[in-house]
Amino acid sequence: MNIDISRAAAILRDGDGFLILTHRRPDGDTLGSAAALCSALRRLGKRAVLCPNSGITEKYAPFVSEYIGDDTSEYTIPVSVDIAGENLFPLGWQGHVELAIDHHPSNSGFASETLLWPDKAACGEIVLELIDLLCGGITSKEADLLYIAVSTDCGCFQYANTRADTFRSAAKLLESGADIQRLNKLLFRSVSPARLRLEGMIYSTLRSYRDNAINIAVITAEMIQKSGADGSDMDDIAALPGRIAGNVVSVTIKERTDGTSKVSLRSTDALDSSAICAIFGGGGHKMAAGCEMSCPPEEAAEKLLREIERAMG
């Protein structure tokens, strides 16, 4: 059942013992939003922890480690943040979610109650307003966490999901003490040598179709091994093939260790990425979506290209 923000605040204000869930392969939005919410709930005197998530990378671990619970058995109210479907629950967790806070239009409605604002660029924008309602404002640490959430989900305010409200949220976070100079350097202007090597491999094997309107990058397990890249080097990797002039839709296919494929689509508003991914059991936003395919990357590329060509007519 979809609810408004007042009802979501009441659930958090009246309850205690919150287990906050972040999605599988967590990004800056799910982690920053969840940690900021956890901090705010603790300021209200509530017991709250983040559910352990094995996918947290070295980049984000320093920001969220203090909120992660070791023994979560006493936390009985599961709250999900930035999770669109049950298939994205963190590895090792199963159960029913009482409250979902999300901005994905493809949210499956798995929770008892859902605060869903699909017009927001990031879940962090929703959590910012929710904390304001609960606490009357945010701390500088929460501002840092929510800046991580908002800025990473809109590509440092470069993606098409960026709106006037996104900038207003960022301004509020800056006014509340977010250290944007330090965070922008860490998040957007600093990469490892391994990431640079991997980018070179990706660009050298990029496939382009329809005069560069469709661009597909395949990242094999061998490329990852040769580059020396790890999970921390994969942030925003899906944005790379879309940089070519004339791009309408870009596809990034990452080979998993078991030979299956993780797919990310990015597109202009001329194509519905979520609809393409839904064909393969995924979803997301119109211009940014993903799915998992139980086939090798080359086969996945052929299937995706076929569906994209069909959608483009």
Residue pLDDT, tens place only, 38-78: 999 999 999 999 999 999 999 999 999 999 998 898 999 99
Ranges of residues in the chain whose predicted pLDDT is under 50? none
Domain chopping of the chain, boundaries: 5-188, 193-312
User: Which residues, in sequence order, are CB contacts of 129 under 8 Å at separation 6+?
Assistant: 5
> How many C-beta atoms surround the C-beta of residue 254 within 10 A?
22
What pLDDT does 160 receive?
Answer: 85
Helix or strand (DSSP H, E) at 126: helix 123-135
What pLDDT does 219 receive?
Answer: 97
> How many C-beta atoms surround the C-beta of residue 77 within 10 A?
18
pTM metric for this prediction: 0.85
Q: Match domain 5-188 to its CATH number in 2.60.40.740, 3.30.70.20, 3.90.1640.10, 3.90.1150.10.
A: 3.90.1640.10
The domain 193-312: what is its CATH number?
3.10.310.30
